[in-house]
C-alpha cells in the first residue's frame, strides 16, 4: 500500500527524487528517483524495482491514464494523415491504410511508454498516493 512506501522513504530520498525532472525521466523511460535505471521491461511492463538505485517501483500504477491520452492523440493524428494521404496525395486506399496502420502501431507503443513513464514520474515527484484519514503506521497491516 502507498502508506508503507511513504514510511520507508526518508526525507533525503524524497529530495533526491525531486531533483530528477519528471518530464525528462518520462521522455527517456527512466526511473523517477535516480533518472538512470530503466523503467520498463518487455516493452510496456513497469519493473518491480530499479536496477540502478533499487527503488521499489511495484507501487507505481498509472492506471488507464496513459491509454486515454494515446487513443485520443493517435486517433486524431491518424485521421489527419488519412485525409492527407488519400485526399491530397491521392494515394491508393490500401497503401494509405498500410502506412496509417504502421504509424498507429509504432506511434502508440512509443507514446504509451512516454506517457506511462511521465505519469509514474509525476506521481513520485509530487508524492501522490491514495487518500488516508490519518497517519497511523499499523493502519494497513
List residues near Zn ion by CB under 5 A: 31, 33-34, 37, 50, 52-53, 55
**Least distance from C-beta 106 to Zn ion, angstroms?**
27
The smaller minimum CB distance to Zn ion, of residues 31 and 70, is found at 31
Reduced to 3 states, what is the DSSP secondary structure of residue 56? strand
The smaller minimum CB distance to Zn ion, of residues 10 and 141, is found at 10
**Least distance from C-beta 27 to Zn ion, angstroms?**
16
**Least distance from C-beta 107 to Zn ion, angstroms?**
27
Helix axes 11-19, 93-125, angle to 10 degrees: 150
> Cα dihedral angle (127, 133, 139, 140), rounded to 10 degrees?
-60
The smaller minimum CB distance to Zn ion, of residues 31 and 85, is found at 31
Cell of 57: 517501483
Cβ-count burial of 117 within 10 angstroms (0-12 exposed, 13-18 middle, 19+ buried)? buried
Answer for the pair 124, 39: CB distance below 8 angstroms, yes or no: no
**Least distance from C-beta 36 to Zn ion, angstroms?**
6
The smaller minimum CB distance to Zn ion, of residues 51 and 61, is found at 51
Amino acid at each position: 500500500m502507498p502508506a508503507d512506501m511513504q514510511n520507508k522513504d526518508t526525507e533525503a530520498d524524497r529530495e533526491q527524487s525531486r531533483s530528477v525532472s519528471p518530464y525528462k525521466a518520462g521522455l527517456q523511460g527512466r526511473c523517477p528517483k535516480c533518472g538512470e535505471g530503466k523503467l520498463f521491461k518487455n516493452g510496456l511492463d513497469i519493473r518491480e524495482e530499479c536496477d540502478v538505485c533499487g527503488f521499489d517501483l511495484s507501487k507505481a500504477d498509472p492506471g488507464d491514464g496513459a491509454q486515454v491520452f494515446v487513443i485520443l492523440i493517435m486517433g486524431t493524428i491518424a485521421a489527419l494523415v488519412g485525409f492527407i494521404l488519400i485526399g491530397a496525395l491521392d494515394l491508393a486506399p490500401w497503401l494509405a491504410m498500410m502506412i496509417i496502420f504502421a504509424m498507429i502501431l509504432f506511434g502508440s507503443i512509443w507514446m504509451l511508454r512516454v506517457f506511462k513513464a511521465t505519469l509514474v514520474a509525476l506521481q513520485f515527484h509530487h508524492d501522490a498516493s491514495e487518500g488516508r484519514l490519518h497517519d497511523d503506521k499499523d493502519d494497513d497491516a
